[in-house]
Structure 1
Amino acid sequence: MEKQLYLKHKPKVTIITIAYNAAATIELTILSVLGQTYQNLEYIIIDGGSTDGTQKVIEKYKGKLAKYISEPDKGIADGFNKGIAMATGHWIGMINADDWYTPNAVEVMMHSISKDDDVCCGNIMLVGANEIERQKKSKVSWLNFGMYIMHPTCFIKKGVYLQVGGYDTGLKIAMDFDMFLRIKRNGFKIKHVDEVVAYMRLDGVSNDTVKMHREELSVMRRHLNGLNYYCSYLFNYLNRLRWRYFYKDPLRNLANS
């Protein structure tokens, strides 16, 4: 009964898209948000001062956006933080300009949570060359070992951000890994929903695996101690070797990692 009352209330959800020179992909992202079956949505777009026509695409839909700004920023984390500061929703989701939602993504996630959940995350469909797809599941219990929570599938209560602080602008790739370890350290409940709720193309900044692993190890040193750190470091290192030397299909490797 408690869950039914919570769902009947239909909490407001803010979706944030950050973009920079994404003219070729952002329209699909925007349409996937505007086409959601969930009704109580607020959509915010933060553009980092694009020069390739991204702003022209966004302007087509400006009347359907709650907020939109275009100005230079300090990178992905800075864009996230600007969007969070503007958000008025009880829950916040992030879908970047080369990713997109399934039509009922928000509905599925909001119908899978209770008022006691703080974060919910789902599964993602990775899209590689020739539009080949592989599903990757979020693995909450693996979080110490790396970014095993699929950020585009996540919805986080705004109150969580208010307590743990914003994304670290000093990180260029692993800012989401740092955020989730901070969330975990503060005792918030992270729930996995076993449903595909987003698609992600494998040509973004997070696919620079060398930089990604380097930042992940830096974040581990920041948050993990003793045996937890050394076990996580070893797992991450061995996984990096596997990516580099044993797999010829990076899409399959990423999906199974």
Structure 2
Amino acid sequence: MSQPKAPKISIIIVTYNAVKTLQAGLDSIYAQKYPNIEVVVIDGGSTDGTLELLKDNTSKLAYWKSEPDEGIYDAMNKGLNHISGQWVYFMGADDELRDEFSEMALELKRPGALYYANVMSNGKKKSGFVNEYYQAKAGVFHQAIIYSASIFKTYRYDTRYSISADYELNMRCWRDQSIAFIYRDYVIANFNHNGASSGGEDELFASNKSNLIRQNFGLKIWLRYMFRLFKERLRGTK
């Protein structure tokens, strides 16, 4: 009897002038032992040789396109329109998958769930199991998460948030009791800190964060978060 085919994982990469790092990231995908991965690349109109690199990789990509966009999360939303997998992973153009990604992929058993693991960041394993309060306060590394594709039939990234739309989307997912957050102790990617999220604060998200925590996590977690802010401000005045 033949074995059932492994569920497909769609990896979406958003690029812009990423010629120096993109091939290494793609090669880390090609090297995976997991047998059913497709790669979708959405480029923002690169001018540095990225398009030539993508052309060289066309036979290994399920889809790619280069055109102007309205930011990283707009491009991610576009990428979701071109996937065919049951699971979705978002990878930075300067990140690389580790071998344990394929081991993690074999754990994807629960339809509709959000699975998360760990990444290597600045030489350290981050972040481990994340409790409800930490989910609210800091969230999970985007590159540590594999989503059920069905989640994106209901939710998309809010492009008003230039840096933290993934954080905000995960808040909404947490509130949705039909979406289980499942942790597995693997290190699935090397996370590079030179991406857009290193460029500063998402001011709109920062101004809305406390309200978003209250809306998505409830009064108890919100009060704990506000008490923490109060203590930090009190220390700052000393």
The TM-score, its normalising length taken from structure 1, stands at 0.80
Tell me which of 206, 214, 225 is aligned to 1:232: 225
Query: How far off its partner does 1:237 sit?
Result: 8.0
Q: How many residues align?
A: 228
Q: What is aligned with 1:14?
A: 10
What SS does the aligned partner of 2:32 have? Answer: coil
Extract unaligned runs of 5+ from structure 2. none
Query: How far off its partner does 1:47 sit?
Result: 0.4
Q: Counterparts of 1:231-250 in structure 2 under 5 Å?
A: 231-235=224-228
Q: Counterparts of 1:119-130 in structure 2 under 5 Å?
A: 119-127=114-122
- Shift of the 241–64 alpha-carbon distance from structure 1 to 2, 3 Å rule, reads farther
Tell me which of 29, 47, 51 is aligned to 2:47: 51
Say if 1:13 and 1:93, in contact at 8 Å, map to a contact too.
yes
Q: What is aligned with 1:109?
A: 104
Tell me which of 124, 132, 138 is aligned to 1:146: 138
Say if 2:87 and 2:149, in contact at 8 Å, map to a contact too.
yes
Query: How far off its partner does 1:116 sit?
Result: 4.9
Matched, 1:190 2:186: no
Q: C-alpha distance in 2, partners of 1:48/1:237?
A: 41
Extract unaligned runs of 5+ from structure 1. 1-6, 128-132, 245-257
- Letter paired with 1:202: H
What SS does the aligned partner of 2:81 have? Answer: helix
- Shift of the 31–39 alpha-carbon distance from structure 1 to 2, 3 Å rule, reads same
Cα deviation 1:14-48 (Å, max 9, x = unaligned)? 11100111111111111111221111111100101
- Letter paired with 2:221: N
What SS does the aligned partner of 1:15 have? Answer: strand
Q: C-alpha distance in 2, partners of 1:48/1:241?
A: 44
Say if 1:213 and 1:240, in contact at 8 Å, map to a contact too.
no
Query: How far off its partner does 1:223 sit?
Result: 4.5
Say if 1:92 and 1:155, in contact at 8 Å, map to a contact too.
yes
Q: Counterparts of 1:77-116 in structure 2 under 5 Å?
A: 77-105=73-101, 107-116=102-111
Query: How far off its partner does 1:103 sit?
Result: 2.9
- Letter paired with 2:32: Q
- Shift of the 207–67 alpha-carbon distance from structure 1 to 2, 3 Å rule, reads same
Query: How far off its partner does 1:122 sit?
Result: 0.9
Q: C-alpha distance in 2, partners of 1:181/1:150?
A: 13
Cα deviation 1:134-163 (Å, max 9, x = unaligned)? 22124431101122x121121101111112
Percent identical residues: 27
Q: C-alpha distance in 2, partners of 1:241/1:27?
A: 48
- Shift of the 238–146 alpha-carbon distance from structure 1 to 2, 3 Å rule, reads farther
Query: How far off its partner does 1:217 sit?
Result: 5.0
- Shift of the 35–166 alpha-carbon distance from structure 1 to 2, 3 Å rule, reads same
Q: C-alpha distance in 2, partners of 1:24/1:234?
A: 44
- Letter paired with 2:191: M
Matched, 1:207 2:198: yes
Query: How far off its partner does 1:51 sit?
Result: 1.5
Query: How far off its partner does 1:79 sit?
Result: 0.9
